[in-house]
A and B are shown apart, each in its own frame.
Chain A
């Protein structure tokens, strides 16, 4: 965390003392066994004497934390804030932490994948999607990861065959179609107009942020095209002046913990019509060389420090429009989308960032 924070400060050309507030995000405390870890980490975070806020909105937390951090600056009361998110999954077993034994749920709780897999099957059945589409996403994201030295999974000889032959976990999700358990952190410095304009590296201008949530389970909930994601996208598009996402957005970092979410999100986010997302994947449009690169960084499928995963999407979107994404840079990216997802298709956070000052 300290490592990520110091690199972010260096990138922004400032030091700990320039930071007016610290906003921390992470997923359940049970992943590390520390209650409100910002309390004991205050020294490491340079937080002493500063305002500290700890956000927790399930898997979307990295994204929603960045949104809160943006609000700090938007409020006019803070000039530069540091926002950090992390997870150290090596210290626990997330599948265990997410499968508590409760008397009213029969013993079929099978971790996050077990919960989500039925809806992917439903998606495939509803739109007649071929089975290899998920594998294509898995290959593409792992290939992208090879161009991102920060990515956890580096599988040099990744291939469609390798993914298709990897063990089935929760049908239709195979081992290589799932995200890894990662340790990691992400940090961003957000600054007001004056400081951003003076920063040593080009800033990513935030055009709009949004969060939406709904209940985990209620009658009529659409788990393929979730209402809360539709509402979140509509809001952020309106704020950012995006009317034709497919044409206007140059690159998107979407929270895809299981390969099948890419085609489903493409539809929900309005990049194509319902039932068309898998065709976009199949066409190669979402590859690094395509016209709508998705997860050029390798995405959550290549690194999943849960609490940080959403912020990594937001940060990678920013890197793209700043032209600082290195080998996985999408040439000429001016407008990028960062997206985070959490809970049972319930919690979403997004932002749109631009190379151009609004």
Chain B
């Protein structure tokens, strides 16, 4: 397969409410900025692929509006996934691997603020058995956390530690929505939200957009001094029947990691798409990350969680660290569906 590397990444300010800006207005600046960062224009892009979700916007064809943010005359080669844009990146890689493209633009976007995110995500469940009961996204994650606590595979202190580290790391991320210096004790003193979760165990609701450029080998070397090479990438699905899963584990992450070749790489950095604190702990275990790995130096999804972009953001943050010379080898993870149902793992290297 042809080699490919991330050569540019930009995300918007992570905000609870993007105000009067609509989706296209959120996308346009990041698309322009990422292209300017390597000195290309839309004419140089062979393939454009985006990730979004109609139900977040409350209207069919969210991505059609989104496309207005990109120059499309003359028409472009384009596609869209109704998923996190990490999978849009995967589709772009297929184009690069098969020799159909050398430079691809990826973007993911959403405004979760206008709707009722917790209820919207309920509609991901089985419409006959689960939806009529209206279990919301936070409650399902709470079930998962409870299963872990009861199994003794983590403590509430472990969860608070994840949050504390995220808040602290986010202080160094100017785009982060939530950042603070706090302590495990202070976090544990907070009231419950959906037991056993506290509010800070849950990713915030965030509006925003992100854009990323991925290129084949020659193009990457031409445009970028230190490309972040994608050494391996794989994604796997698990059953949608929650009762049939062991929620304390993530076999799809483990399998994807094996296929992506995480083991044996000198991983120094990891960005894990864990919208809930306990999920980061599951992911670290399944990925087999050692204690020396810097996990979520951006603050992770707990510091800002743009639906349909947060997975791509993980890849973007690892790549940015590599491009800046702050990391040499990183693991990025993206998830989709309730309780880590579908997972993507990528290994990036300088």
* B252 interfacial by beta-carbon distance below 8 Å: yes
Flag if B94 contacts A29 (CB, 8 Å). no
Chain A residues with CB under 8 A of B64:
58, 216, 343-344, 346
Any B CB within 8 A of the CB of A211: yes
Q: Contact between A57 and B77 (Cβ–Cβ < 8 Å)?
A: no
B235 contacts which chain A residues (CB < 8 A)? 51-52
- A213–B61 touching, CB < 8 Å: no
The answer, among A52, A211, A344, for a CB contact under 8 Å with B237, is: A52
> Does A102 count as interface, using CB distance less than 8 angstroms?
yes
Report A48-65 CB contacts with B as 1/0, cut-off 8 Å: 111111111110000010
B137 CB to nearest A CB, Å: 11
- Chain A 315-358, CB within 8 Å of chain B: the 1/0 string? 00000000000000000000000000001101100000000000
A289 adjacent to chain B (CB < 8 Å)? no
A155 within 8 Å of B (CB atoms): no
Q: Which listed residue (A28, A76, A98) contacts B98, Cβ 8 A? A: A76
Q: Mind listing 13 A-B residue pairs with CB under 8 Å?
A: A34-B127, A35-B53, A36-B53, A39-B125, A48-B238, A49-B238, A57-B80, A58-B64, A212-B77, A212-B78, A213-B76, A216-B64, A227-B73
**Known contacts A55-B79, A211-B77, A214-B72, A43 near B240 by CB under 8 Å:** yes
Report if A241 contacts B (CB, 8 A): no
Residues of A in contact with B (beta carbons under 8 Å apart): 22, 28-36, 38-43, 47-58, 64, 67-68, 71-72, 74-77, 97-98, 100, 102, 210-216, 218, 220-221, 227-228, 231-232, 343-344, 346-347
Flag if A39 contacts B123 (CB, 8 Å).
Answer: no
Leading 4 A-B pairs by shortest Cβ distance: A74-B98, A75-B97, A28-B60, A228-B75
Q: Is the beta-carbon distance between A212 and B75 smaller than 8 angstroms?
A: yes
When chains A and B are docked, how far (Å) is the Cα of A126 from the Cα of B238? Answer: 54
Chain B residues contacting A343 (CB-CB under 8 Å) are 61, 64
Q: Which residues of A contact B238 (CB under 8 A)?
A: 42, 48-49
Q: How many whole Å from A181's CB to the nearest CB in chain B? A: 15
B73 touches A49 (CB 8 A): no
CB distance from A302 to the nearest CB of B (A): 24
8 Å CB contact of B127 from A32, A57, A231: A32
Tell whether, in the assembled complex, residue A36 and residue B124 are in contact, meaning their CB atoms are under 8 Å apart: yes
Query: Is the Cβ of B127 less than 8 Å from the Cβ of A42?
Result: no
Cβ distance B224 to chain A, nearest Cβ, rounded Å: 22
Interface flags, B233-251, vs A, CB<8A=1, else 0: 0111111110000000001
Do A29 and B54 touch across chains, with their CB atoms under 8 A apart? yes
A193 to B206 Cα, complex, angstroms = 46
B contact residues vs A (CB 8 Å cutoff):
1, 53-55, 58-61, 63-64, 67-68, 72-83, 87, 90-91, 93-95, 97-100, 120-121, 123-127, 130, 234-241, 251-252, 255, 336-338, 341-342
B53 near A53 (CB under 8 angstroms)? no
Residues of B within 8 A of A33 (CB): 123, 127
For residue A214, give the distance in angstroms from its CB to the closest CB of chain B: 4
Q: Is the interface of A mostly helix, strand, loop or mixed?
A: loop
Which of B61, B63, B236 touches A50 (beta carbons < 8 Å)?
B236
**A216 / chain B contacts, CB cutoff of 8 Å:** 64, 67-68
Q: Smallest CB–CB gap between B84 and chain A, Å? A: 10
CB atoms of A30 and B76 under 8 A apart: no
CB-defined contacts of A98 to chain B, threshold 8 Å: 60
CB of A64 within 8 A of CB of B79, answer yes
Report how far A51 CA is from B25 CA in the complex, Å. 32
Instruction: Name A213's closest neighbour in chain B (CB-CB).
Output: B78
**List of A residues within 8 angstroms of B53 by Cβ:** 29, 35-36
List the A residue with the shortest CB-CB distance to B126. A40
Report Cα–Cα, A319/B120, bound state, in Å.
40
Report the nearest A residue to B127, measured CB to CB: A34
Complex interface: chain A residues within 8 A of B337 (CB): 36, 39
Q: By CB atoms of chain B within 10 A, which of A48, A77, A231, A343 has the most?
A: A48
Counting chain B CB atoms within 10 Å of each CB, the highest count among A55, A213, A218, A232 belongs to: A213
Which of B60, B75, B93, B338 is close to A227, meaning CB atoms less than 8 Å apart? B75
Rounded to whole Å, the gap between the CB of A94 and the closest CB of chain B is 9
| Residues in A whose Cβ lies below 8 Å from that of B95 | 71
Specify the chain A residue showing the minimal Cβ separation from B95.
A71
Q: Is the CB of A77 within 8 A of B79?
A: no
Cross-interface CB contact of A231 among B75, B90, B236, cutoff 8 Å:
B75
A39 near B341: Cβ-Cβ < 8 Å: yes
Once A39-B336, A40-B127 are accepted as A-B contacts, the answer to whether A77 and B76 lie under 8 Å apart by CB is: no
- Which residues from B are CB-within-8-Å of A53? 81, 83, 87, 90-91
Q: In the complex, A35 Cα to B127 Cα: how many Å?
A: 10
In the bound complex, residues from chain B placing their C-beta under 8 Å from that of A41 are 240
Flag if A100 contacts B60 (CB, 8 Å). Answer: yes
B189 → chain A closest CB, angstroms: 36
A56 touches B94 (CB 8 A): no
A62 to chain B, nearest CB (A): 13
A54–B83 touching, CB < 8 Å: yes
